[in-house]
Amino acid sequence: MTASDIGDAPGDLTGTVTGTLDPGPDPPSATPTHCPYCALQCGMNVGGRPVTVTPRSDVPANAGGLCQKGWTAAEMLTVPDRLTTPLMRAHLGAPLEPCSWDEALDRIAAEVGRLQEMYGPDAVGVFGGGGLTNEKAYQLGKFARIALRTSQIDYNGRFCMSSAAAALNRAFGMDRGLPVPITDLAQADTILLVGGNVAETMPPFMRHLIDQKAAGGSLIVVDPRRTSTARQADLHLQPTPGTDLALANGLLHLALVEGYVDEGYVAERTSGFDTVHTVINAYWPDRVERITGVPVPHMREAVRMLTRDRVLILTARGAEQHAAGTDTVTAFINLALALGLPGREGSGYGCLTGQGNGQGGREHGQKADQLPGYRKIDDPAARAHVAAVWGVDPQILPGPGRSAYELLAALGTDTGPRALLLFGSNPVVSAPRARSVEERINALDFLVVADFVLSETATRADVVLPSAQWAEESGTMTNLEGRVLRRRQAVPPPDGVRTDLEILSELAGRLSAPGRWSTDPAEVFEELRAASAGGVADYSGITYERIEAEGGVFWPCPAEDHPGTPRPFLDRFATPDGRARFTPVEHRGAAEEVDADYPVYLTTGRVLAHYQSGAQTRRIDPLVAASPDPFVELHPDLADRLGITEGMDVLVTSRRGAAVVRARLTDTIRHDTVFMPFHWAGSGRANSLTNPALDPVSRMPEFKVCAVRLEPALDGVSER
In this predicted structure, what is the pLDDT of residue 26?
63
Using alpha carbons, select from 77, 19, 96, 178 the residue that is nearest to residue 555: 178
User: CATH 2.40.40.20 spans which residues of the chain?
Assistant: 600-712
Per-residue pLDDT for 20 more than 80? Answer: no
In this predicted structure, what is the pLDDT of residue 664?
97
Band (21; pLDDT cuts 50, 70, 90): very low
In this predicted structure, what is the pLDDT of residue 25?
62
E strands in 590-684: 600-605, 631-634, 649-653, 658-665, 673-677
Rounded to whole angstroms, the Cα distance separating 508 from 459 reads 25
pLDDT tens digit sequence for 193-241: 999 999 999 999 999 999 999 999 999 999 999 999 999 999 999 999 9
In this predicted structure, what is the pLDDT of residue 698?
94
Contact 249, 283 (CB under 8 A): yes
Among the residue ranges 158-167, 287-296, 396-405, 418-427, the one predicted with the least confidence is 158-167
In this predicted structure, what is the pLDDT of residue 28?
63
In this predicted structure, what is the pLDDT of residue 718?
46
Band (715; pLDDT cuts 50, 70, 90): low
Q: Is the peptide bond before 121 cis (omega within 30 degrees of 0)?
A: no
pLDDT tens digit sequence for 179-189: 899 999 999 99
CATH number of 600-712: 2.40.40.20
Stretch 655-682: mean pLDDT, rounded? 96
In this predicted structure, what is the pLDDT of residue 3?
35
Q: Nearest 5 degrees, angle CA 116-CA 119-CA 122? A: 65
In this predicted structure, what is the pLDDT of residue 353?
85
Q: 636: which DSSP letter? A: H
Per-residue pLDDT for 126 more than 60? Answer: yes
In this predicted structure, what is the pLDDT of residue 14?
31
Q: Name the fold adopted by 87-159+357-554.
A: Rossmann fold (3.40.50)
What pTM did the predictor assign?
0.94
Per-residue pLDDT for 259 more than 90? Answer: yes
pLDDT tens digit sequence for 645-654: 999 999 999 9
Q: Is 320 helix (H, G, I), strand (E, B) or coil?
A: helix
Stretch 640-649: mean pLDDT, rounded? 96
- According to DSSP, the β-strands at 87-89 and 463-466 are antiparallel
Per-residue pLDDT for 6 more than 50? Answer: no
In this predicted structure, what is the pLDDT of residue 717?
47
Stretch 108-135: mean pLDDT, rounded? 97
Per-residue pLDDT for 407 more than 90? Answer: yes
pLDDT tens digit sequence for 614-629: 999 999 999 999 999 9
Q: What is the percent of the chain where pLDDT is above 70?
A: 95
Stretch 35-61: mean pLDDT, rounded? 94
Q: Is 395 helix (H, G, I), strand (E, B) or coil?
A: helix
User: CATH 3.40.50.740 spans which residues of the chain?
Assistant: 87-159+357-554
Rounded to whole angstroms, the Cα distance separating 332 from 311 reads 13
Contact 476, 547 (CB under 8 A): yes
In this predicted structure, what is the pLDDT of residue 2?
35
Q: How many CB atoms lie within 10 A of CB 135?
A: 29
In this predicted structure, what is the pLDDT of residue 530?
98
Q: How far is CA 28 from CA 8, 52, 53, 54, in A?
A: 21, 9, 11, 11
Stretch 362-385: mean pLDDT, rounded? 95
Rounded to whole angstroms, the Cα distance separating 369 from 276 reads 29
Rounded to whole angstroms, the Cα distance separating 403 from 127 reads 10
In this predicted structure, what is the pLDDT of residue 518?
97
Average pLDDT, rounded, for the chain: 93
Band (676; pLDDT cuts 50, 70, 90): very high
E strand or H helix that includes residue 98: strand 96-98
Rounded to whole angstroms, the Cα distance separating 90 from 96 reads 8
Domain 162-351 has CATH 3.30.300.130: no
Which stretches within 574-649 are classed as H helix? 621-626, 636-642
Per-residue pLDDT for 4 more than 70? Answer: no
